[in-house]
Structure 1
Amino acid sequence: MSGILYVVATPIGNLEDMTYRAVRVLQEVDLIAAEDTRHSRKLLEHYGIKTPLISYHEHNEEQRAAQLIEKLQAGQSLALISDAGTPCIADPGYRLVFRCRAAGVTVAAVPGASALIAALSIAGLPTDAFRFVGFLPAKSHGRRQVLEQLKDEQQTVAFYEGPHRLQASLQDIADICGEDRLISVARELTKRHEELFGGTVAEALEHYAEGKVKGELVLLLGPAPPRKPQGTVKEELARLHAETDLTWKQIVKQVAKDFNLPGSDVYKESLELRGND
């Protein structure tokens, strides 16, 4: 019988945010694969966990994954943890999980803290749908390209960001998405100096103008205002048909929504274009 790979969430700051199950699993497994063994050892010492550690990070994933699969197939059970929060969420781990599932090894989630979910839960922005894009590119050119693709999103968009790039990222967001767009900046979540800023992008730029920011950040960009269609219904139908890969059914649905019209009316408008096509 193969062992089990447990994907175990650990605290993002406050050490009390560790579940009873997570402590038990880390005590019972044969080996813990950690992103940074020195960092994780402090957590294990806090809970009196003496399970051996092995490093597993982005630079040794390929080699280490093969070794861990062998151990699992030999019957050992392993836990995968990251430096903070839930493994595989903008952290190493998905390659190991993929290979385990391909090899028929059971993978079990031990859920817990996540900076992304924690920030969304307290920001007061829409969460019925959201888009998570991980870390923004470090260089402005790449960052602005990503923001161009996201500026019209009709749902909350979440990013991770480092403190030294906050001001530059906020400026790029202001330039691409607009200064009046709502944004929340969550800093040092669950820690002593936890801070949650909420307001417009322009207000965030002013708030963080001094640039002296510490701690990891979650940026939550509010949904874009509804796009106002240009021209007539027929012109918009033609534009979407020419510029996108949407089907006619999807185009009709989108235009009906944009113009606040019944789908049947827009469908009739589309018939002439389809005939010409």
Structure 2
Amino acid sequence: MLTRKLFACLLLSGFFAAPSALADLVFSSPPRESRAKGEEVYQPIADYLSKVTGQKVIYRYPDNWLVYQRDMQKGIYDIVFDGPAFIGWRQDMQGHVPLVKLPGKLSFVLVVKKEQQKIRALRDLAGRSICAFPPPNLATLTVLYEFDNPSRQPLIVETQSFPGAYEGVMNGKCVAGILQTKIYEKLAAERDGTKVIFSSRGVPNQAFTAGPRLVPELKAKITQALLSSEGKVATRKLLAEFKLQDFEPATKEEYAGLGKLLRDVWGFDLAESR
């Protein structure tokens, strides 16, 4: 039987301390929308994942892209929904694993006016203007990756939409424009006047990933939950943003090597990161 004195010593030493609570999991996504919109779309997912995992999942809205990139590089995010370049980087550098993805592949084209005779290939755009989203947008990264000499790259004129990039080419604001392939095909059918000088290969769509603080069993549970009918309800606003109906399983193999697209984005060079 424990004496009163021994019990007091054991209590002070922490022998009878309650087990520490599981740490909260941090969930995030790029700041492509306002904070209010981000919370509207992603908070229901965080709440659902809290229920599924039995751990508190906190949705953290990054105020801007620099904050998002900084916190990602620090390994703060446990669960992330974003594009293939970031997924490939986290997979290589932080041990993240893709869980479920949006269906289909992403590909992009670089276009100029049909009557443009000086620009016939990518190399002809060195030092010339391209209407595009600012990096680290995937479409822009995909094209810039083709220019391996930093001093011989095109100049990015920022636009806020793919139709805006197309219009920039048509009205002479830019020599060329970068567009998602499907969007370009629709715009070209409605308003002819451009030609494609570069087409990228398709890459897997955006996906949820989970980091090393989640054990394999928990990752499997989240995957199954996001693919379930209840998961479809929790993610319906996110799916609606991309006009899609369901997620599908994702694999490490399909995102392998895509982190290289971030080569010229500060802090993401794979060789320097190692």
Q: Is TM > 0.5 for Structure 1 vs Structure 2?
A: no
Q: Which has the higher contact order (CA 8 A, sep 6+)?
A: 2
After TM superposition, the score normalised by the length of structure 1 is 0.30
